[in-house]
Amino acid sequence: MRVRILIASLFSVFIFSFSDCGQKCFGESCSDTINFKLIDKTTQNDLVFGPAPKYKLDSLQLNKDVDFNLGRHSNFIGTVSGNWNRLQASTYAPIETMYLRLSYDDIDTINVQYQYIENDCCENVNGYGRIQSIFYNGQTAEKVDDNYRFIKN
């Protein structure tokens, strides 16, 4: 019995080593990462990395619904990380409307318009989503260099 299992295992490894089945798209994202800065409308200071930060990086969440129930992981649709004094929002698939939770009772809306590009790994989500424009709380987010500026009232 052990010999059969060993032979079957070796055969599977042999077959899959000649195909890209399951390997070609493993871990590949189907949408652009959103690089952004959260800017105070009045002071023009960065609200996460600036001289007087209002929000903590580890408190930011990207949600699919505006309503939030603590502990409901199905509401999380991506990650928010930060480096080089900018934030990055990443999702696996193109999401057109998402909610950025800055604190427990401070939630903002992000609307993204994509151009869909044919991609074998992203067939089930209309193709790879290349960002064309972003609206933050209904206002067009200006893009400066590689970063969108989300202006917070």
pLDDT band at 84 (very low <50, low <70, confident <90, very high): confident
pTM of the model: 0.78
Higher pLDDT, 98 or 26: 98
- Average pLDDT over all residues of the chain: 82
pLDDT of residue 29: 86
Share of the chain above pLDDT 90, in %: 52
* pLDDT at 19 > cutoff 70: no
95, amino acid identity: I
Q: Which residues pair with 42 in a beta bridge?
A: none
Tell me the mean pLDDT in the region 110-119.
95
Cβ neighbors of 99 (< 8 A, separation 6 or more) are: 62, 63, 64, 65, 66, 107, 108, 109, 110
The DSSP call for residue 6 is H
pLDDT of residue 24: 63
